[in-house]
Copies of this chain bind each other. A is one copy, B any other.
């Protein structure tokens, strides 16, 4: 096998590894100890080839008889996608979406935690929302370094997006997960992922309408 540097795995593979792990946790909770590529594939709507290819890329080998050992695979995936030093995340924008993400995520991962929230609504400041203390966005430059925050999830209203992003970057945060519908432009050294809900709905609508129109 060609030696694949683990830190330049394809982005799509990283996404799938995260999902494999989630499924593997479920399987282990159901008492399974081993799993075949086609089983994993079925649960993820993939082909078994793709599962095996992904696992090949991370250098994991199974056995022909038992497939993959779930426990080991979980550990290996963790060693690749989890950070050694825990990463701290802030939610910027504590509206419905921010709260949804916060409460959904809280306590789910060991090495990736939402530790703070920011908002510009003074009603929300100093309150604990979904278990997380909420600060005024103006304080982000002080709070982020104090709490060692490396990632921000951006869930503010569209008109506030650019300004919020500017403040996030100014606070020294290196990763932004943008859930607003405003595309961002960021400096090269900032990692950016965009997940726009409206786009996803319009894309789906496009394919659905083909059956109708």
Contact = CB atoms under 8 A, between A and B. Distances in A.
B97 A183 contact: no
A14 to B, nearest CB: 5
A123 interface: no
12 contacts: A18-B202, A19-B183, A42-B185, A89-B205, A101-B197, A104-B198, A105-B198, A105-B201, A108-B198, A151-B208, A174-B211, A191-B204
A184 interface: yes
A19 B199 contact: yes
Given A7-B210, A206-B14, A195 B198 contact: no
Interface string A26-58: 000000000000000011110000000000000
A208 B84 contact: no
A175 interface: yes
B177 A212 contact: no
Interface of A: 7, 11, 14-15, 18-19, 22-23, 42-45, 80-85, 87, 89, 95-97, 99-101, 103-105, 108-109, 112, 150-151, 153, 155, 174-177, 181, 183-185, 191-193, 195-213
A7 B176 CA distance: 33
Contacts of A181: 22
A112 B209 CA distance: 11
Contacts of A192: 45
B210 A15 contact: no
Contacts of A151: 201, 204-205, 208
A177 B198 CA distance: 11
B42 A205 contact: no
Contacts of A84: 209, 213
Nearest to A150: B208
Contact of A99 (B96, B175, B213): B96
A204 B177 contact: yes
